[in-house]
Structure 1
Amino acid sequence: MAVKLSTIRQAFHMLKSIDFEQLGRLSEKIDLPKVMATVGKMNDQQLSGLMRMLQSSGGGQKKELPPVNGDFYDLSSLLSPEDKALQLRVREFMEQEIQPVVNEYWMKAEFPFELLPKLAALNICGSTYEGYGGPNKSFLMEGIVTMEIARVDCSMATFFGVQSGLAMGSIYLLGSEAQKKEWLPDMQQLKKIGAFGLTEPEVGSGAAGGLTTTVKRVGDTWVLNGEKKWIGNATFADVVVIWARDVDDNQVKGFLLRKGTPGFTVEKMHGKMALRIVQNGLITLKDCVVEEKDRLEHANSFKDTAKVLRMTRAGVAWLAVGCARGAYENALAYTLKRKQFGKPIASFQLIQNHLVEMLSNLTAMQTMVYRLSELQDQGLLADEHASIAKVFCSLRTRDVVRGAREVMGGNGILLEYNVARFVADAEAIYSYEGTKEINTLIVGRAITGFSSFI
């Protein structure tokens, strides 16, 4: 077979770059005439293969690799310059301030209180609430901020969701004007911290009709008794939104329980395998007296509670996307550097299959939550929209983190490689803000017209 002229030219250019002093030293180690004779007998295909091998061995320029970027469909390009700048500021904060210390705090199950002033300076809490100090951003932008926080640490994203979504959201949607003015500006600046007390030791999914925490009106006050469990921020919150069943009318009502209220105690929960930085508490309420002014005046049934959950459930879907994106990007970066058999493992077919499956799930999730937030901004968000996103994204996040751990081999279980946390945290995301089963039934009711809830 004749050798192509293009191959000869390529070989000639490589010969021009040879250091002949090095060639002289090389001739002392190998039989150069024999090597040249062997090369001269090669056909075009064999010679091209030799050239590729020589180039990949370090003789040529280093291959320029694509950037590590989980936004495969470039959704961030749809943001305004102002919103894009905010996204990058949040990313910079998370990478420079949180990333260096996150594994240490995660292992100790402690919260980085000293970083709260810097987080407050980003001005991202309560961004969708008009007035009260917030920047008045879209739900889409709030979702992207949540994703950027979770991309580095899901615990900090959960803290943000409790503070900005559940706690502030309860006051914004259901509180009086006086309550909004008292709490929201300080909570927006993280000068006051909030928590959301709905879940109980024996009541999770059945909260709509099965709350065991009770409240009874006594004159101009309300008396609370019961327990709450898994309450994020509870150990250091200045105010906790407590949901309780009124013994007189059997309806769920909401109350703002202030720090230091007699009869209110909090025990930090220990032994968690996920979201370890989140300070979850077991709350005990024993004859806690709450004044009428601290009752959420527009929270008079569980339907009102559901308004808050609907709004924040979309945020949990975004949080799941951030978890998946962080795992994918860390795994991709690892495969580009990690070498086995003399080559980066990213060059192997089976590794690329894992990476593409992860990216496919991540891209589907991103496009889903993007549209979800558009619906929310248009005032068209329904329970089933938020629920199907939470189900899909938390489920697919499990797949992505599993794939990320897979391509990293044994290193995937070490915190220093920044994937093990995502693997663990994905399990908590899968369960909170409504289990897969409960959210599935919400969607099922919407598409069939039949309610299969007990």
Structure 2
Amino acid sequence: MTTTPLAPPDALPGADFYLYEDLLPEDERTVLLKARTFLRDEVKPLVNGYWDRGEFPMELIGKFRGSGLTALPYEGYGAHLPAASHLLNGMLAMEMSRVDASVATFFGVHDGLSFYSIHTGGDQEQRARWLPAMASMEKIGAFALTEPLGGSDVSGGMRTTAERQGGTWVLNGAKRWIGNATFADHVVVWARDVDDNQVKGFVVEQGTPGFVAVRIEGKTALRIVQNAEITLTDVRVPESNRLQNVNSFRDVAEILCFTRSGVAWQALGVMIGAYELALAYAKDRRQFGRPIAGFQMVQDLLVRSLGDITASWGMLVQLARLQDQGIFRDDHSALAKGFTTSRMRKVVASSREILGGNGILLDHDVARFFADAEALYSYEGTRQMQTLIVGKSITGQSAFV
């Protein structure tokens, strides 16, 4: 069955070379185009100034509430619609990153990591208590897993501890690189139970005594995202704030499997955003009496970038189908994250190269995409870690140390 392509505002100038958007049914394409218009009109004009200052545009949160973009993967508990397809959710993450990776990361932390942790790890009472306000963005969430001395090895080397004392848990330790944590209303904190040595999840409300979140300064990527270093000193959390359906790190890994595919879509959006800017620049910039878009070596960079975009997009379309069919695995997610972020690095470098000296100026946007790509390349699992996950899957041999 064929669908009639819509005429979107600010249509992708050739980035959707194989017409992947047309795979969405018309009602979902309408949601995507609404998001594209919102991001173009409300978000894009603000991002460079906030990125330069290293501040988060709090003024946008109220606008996000009315955008219809929150809680789309979910049903109930304040979600606006029946759960959207994984293909639409992926393309929405792509669309956000096409404008700004920091905004996409904010959504990925709040609507993905934090919301999904409570949605899957909490019991019915906990979901009813926290999720409606998160769906409407009346409350903002964060997710605290990474530690100052623990990144890829945090599953076995988590130093943050939780000790039960009657009906209360006492948390001690530190977390690092925690997005949204400076202003989030609550943070899902992962800690190792000193009793059974298993990882458990706790919802810590902002302002709880002993909980301190300090913004990390001096970042050169995702400068809009308010990453924090968190210290937990005898933080007392009631048993009712422990996620009741989380019993080990295996449950945490399932959450990361779900959100890691979102990072792959974000990487695609960064590629498209940088490619679009480079293509438009090449058509406009004149050297030796003609647009540089007519130079063979510029066309080579553009076509290589388009190939990386198209290949990544095709991989993610099939990934979304696997998710919708319920046969999606962690190694599927790992391959997509590792592949797309590697291709992203190439595309943003080529885009910066096409702009020449202007490629390092924030005014031309490509510099922001170039810098932000480095954060996406590393967070939620490095390429090397994704490689070992897939390598174990295809060989049956674990190469983890």
Q: TM-score scaled by structure 2?
A: 0.96
| SS at structure 2 position matched to 1:227 | strand
Displacement of 1:69: 2.9
Q: Which residue of 1 aligns with 2:70?
A: 125
| Pairing partner for 1:156 from 95, 103, 113 | 103
Asked whether 1:70 is paired with 2:6, we answer: no
Deviation string 1:187-223 (CA, Å, 9 cap, x unpaired) is: 0111100000000000000011100000001011100
Summarize the alignment of residues 43-442 of structure 1 with structure 2, pairs less than 5 Å apart: 68-134=13-79, 135=81, 136-442=83-389
Tell me if the contact between 1:125 and 1:163 (Cα under 8 Å) persists in the aligned partners.
no
Tell me if the contact between 1:123 and 1:188 (Cα under 8 Å) persists in the aligned partners.
no
Matched letter for residue 156 of structure 1: V
Displacement of 1:378: 1.0
Matched letter for residue 197 of structure 2: N
Displacement of 1:67: 7.2
In structure 2, what is the Cα distance between the partners aligned to 1:131 and 1:437?
37
Tell me if the contact between 1:111 and 1:277 (Cα under 8 Å) persists in the aligned partners.
yes
In structure 1, what is the Cα distance between the partners aligned to 2:400 and 2:245?
26
Deviation string 1:411-444 (CA, Å, 9 cap, x unpaired) is: 1111111100010001000000001111111101
Matched letter for residue 255 of structure 2: V
RMSD: 1.0
In structure 1, what is the Cα distance between the partners aligned to 2:319 and 2:71?
19
Matched letter for residue 338 of structure 1: R
Matched letter for residue 391 of structure 1: G
In structure 1, what is the Cα distance between the partners aligned to 2:160 and 2:71?
28
In structure 1, what is the Cα distance between the partners aligned to 2:64 and 2:276?
23
In structure 1, what is the Cα distance between the partners aligned to 2:14 and 2:364?
17
Deviation string 1:361-411 (CA, Å, 9 cap, x unpaired) is: 011011111111111111111010000000000000000000000111101
Runs of 4+ in 1 over 4 A off after TM superposition: none
Q: Which residue of 1 aligns with 2:6?
A: none
Matched letter for residue 250 of structure 1: N
Q: Which structure: larger Rg?
A: 1
In structure 2, what is the Cα distance between the partners aligned to 1:285 and 1:245?
13
Q: CA 1:342–1:67 in 2, change beyond 3 Å: closer, same or farther? A: farther
Q: CA 1:387–1:233 in 2, change beyond 3 Å: closer, same or farther? A: same
| Greater relative contact order, per chain length (Cα 8 Å cut-off, separation 6+) | 2
Tell me if the contact between 2:12 and 2:276 (Cα under 8 Å) persists in the aligned partners.
no
Structure 1: unaligned runs, 5 residues or longer? 1-65
Matched letter for residue 133 of structure 1: G
Tell me if the contact between 1:161 and 1:315 (Cα under 8 Å) persists in the aligned partners.
yes
In structure 1, what is the Cα distance between the partners aligned to 2:395 and 2:14?
39
Structure 2: unaligned runs, 5 residues or longer? 1-10
Deviation string 1:166-207 (CA, Å, 9 cap, x unpaired) is: 000000011011110111111011110000000000000001
Query: How many pairs are equivalent?
Result: 389
In structure 1, what is the Cα distance between the partners aligned to 2:329 and 2:102?
27
In structure 1, what is the Cα distance between the partners aligned to 2:226 and 2:256?
20
Q: Which residue of 2 aligns with 1:448?
A: 395
In structure 1, what is the Cα distance between the partners aligned to 2:12 and 2:124?
49
Q: TM-score scaled by structure 1?
A: 0.85
In structure 1, what is the Cα distance between the partners aligned to 2:13 and 2:374?
25
Tell me if the contact between 1:172 and 1:180 (Cα under 8 Å) persists in the aligned partners.
yes
